[in-house]
Amino acid sequence: MPGPDAADSDIELLRYVRLSPRPFAKVDDVNKQTSVGYKQTRNRLDKLVEKGLLNVEQAGNVNLYWLSDEGERRLGEEI
């Protein structure tokens, strides 16, 4: 997909993680739904980790992301 698009808000990224068919999401899962490239998606997810909205754990060479309690709360406020 073409370059960065501010249309992919933090809330939308949290929603993409939440809607993953597994209890976690990989960058690839989220990237398929965004309007930015893989690296930008990974950077945005990492910033959400820094903000305390996502948790992350590395499994091999893949990061697995899931909503933190604060991320769940923030997403719930938007629904």
Measure the CA–CA gap between 20 and 29, rounded to whole angstroms.
Answer: 7
Total number of domains constituting the chain: 1
Q: Report the candidate in 52, 46, 43, 45 with the shortest Cα–Cα distance to residue 72.
A: 52
Is residue 2's pLDDT more than 50?
no
Please report, rounded to a whole number, the percentage of residues in the chain having pLDDT higher than 90: 81
Structural domain boundaries, residue 36: 10-78
Residue 32 dihedral angles phi and psi, to the nearest 5°: -60, -25
pLDDT one-digit tens code per residue, 41-54: 999 999 999 999 99
Rounded to a whole number of angstroms, the CA Rg of the chain reads: 12
- CATH of residue 73: 1.10.10.10
Concatenating the DSSP letter of every residue in 24-58 gives: SB-HHHHHTTSSS-HHHHHHHHHHHHHTTSEEEEE
* Confidence band for 79, pLDDT divided at 50, 70 and 90: low
What pTM does this model have? 0.86
Tell whether 22 is covered by a domain.
Answer: yes
Judge whether 23 lies within some domain. Answer: yes
Q: Could you tell me if residue 71 is inside a domain?
A: yes
